[in-house]
Amino acid sequence: MAGSLDLHHVDAFVGTKSLLQLMGSEWKVHRKLISKAFSWQNLVVMVPSMTSIADDFASVLLKSNAESIDVAPLLKLLTLDIIGATAFGSSFNAIHDAKNPIMEGFTLLLEDFNHRMIEAPFHPGSKFYWLPTKANKLHRATTQSMRQLIDDLVASRMKSTSNETYHDLLQFMIAAAHEENSGVTAQSFADNLLTFLFAGFDTTSISLSYALYLMASHPDVQEKALAENLFITESLRLFPPALVTSRTLEDEVTIGKHRIPRGTTVMLPIYWIHRYDANWGSDADRFRPERHLEDSDDINLSAKDKGFRMLAFSGGPRNCVGMRYAMLETVVVLAVLLQRCVFSVAKDAPPVRPVVSGLVQKPEHGVWLNIQPRKA
């Protein structure tokens, strides 16, 4: 199956040379290059930056005089700063300046993208970015500003002859391209950096929001410091940032008595798959991290089926290329926060309930927590 999104809007948002749009042999070249950039060897080098920014974020939380804090919007600032450091080699400083131009510009573009994706089937005119509307003019100005910043950064790195060493995604992509002699262009580097920002900004902050909520709701888990893969995987199962993904069939498929022709776009309801009894048992709605233990055999599924009952990062050859990065970032952030803070659900906090927000879901009323310093 091929990836499927309304590429007209994706083109306008991140350009035409990212993994989201490419197909066939060109996609394979780029996928190999970016997978190499995301190797464990490279990811480990990013950990000190992630740790430092997460520690700074913990200090900001603990300095707040508020009785309770909605951590959801603050975690967006955290993930933006981590992406800035680990992908661009830049300090966005969003944690200390929420009015950061990068934050404001990207938030505007993301909201515009989500709005157009939702209304596109009903208002075909939303695809015509050249129309002289107020929304299009603002989109064009913001896009040009963001692109200029990224294009200048890419051009500077590709021409650099200095001995300065960078440990970020851009440098790792450039190094991989040289090793592979792939002929990948500056536009491709820029488009994939924007795609990484697009794919990792909202999703990781949403994942962290739900993870902290589940920890605050289960003090026993928090005190055992189970902020590792079992906990994070279970959090992603219950609250996957993306509710739905889609694929376009390259060949005709027959399921039972139903024939689905080639070229059909098939929607995969991730949230439903993650909570379906046949996949996860009668307690599918219950938070139970130990269900992900390797020796757990509570569901009678084939190995192939088990591989596709968990789709937080999609599945198959076009799954999320940044999956290991996202998991590492989540582990590092939660580990740092738990070392310094104790979280509990705020008294009279509104219920944490997912609501659709464009291509993702988020907690409708935020995630309100009490945060206290952890005693040594």
Residues flagged as binding site: 320
Q: What pairing do the DSSP bridges indicate for beta strands 360-363 and 354-357?
A: antiparallel
Residue 119 to residue 220: CA distance in whole angstroms = 44
Residue 332 to residue 323: CA distance in whole angstroms = 14
Listed in sequence order, the residues at least 6 apart from 31 whose beta carbon sits closer than 8 Å to its beta carbon are: 19, 317, 321
Q: What are phi and psi of 4, to 5 degrees?
A: -145, 120
How far is residue 161 CA from its own chain's centroid? 33
Residues flagged as binding site for heme: 320
Token pair recorded at residue 182: 């792939």
Q: Across-strand partners of 267? A: 246
Tell which residue, 309, 313, 308, has the closest CA to residue 281. 309
Token pair recorded at residue 222: 């928090």
Contact in structure between 370 and 360 (CB atoms under 8 Å): no
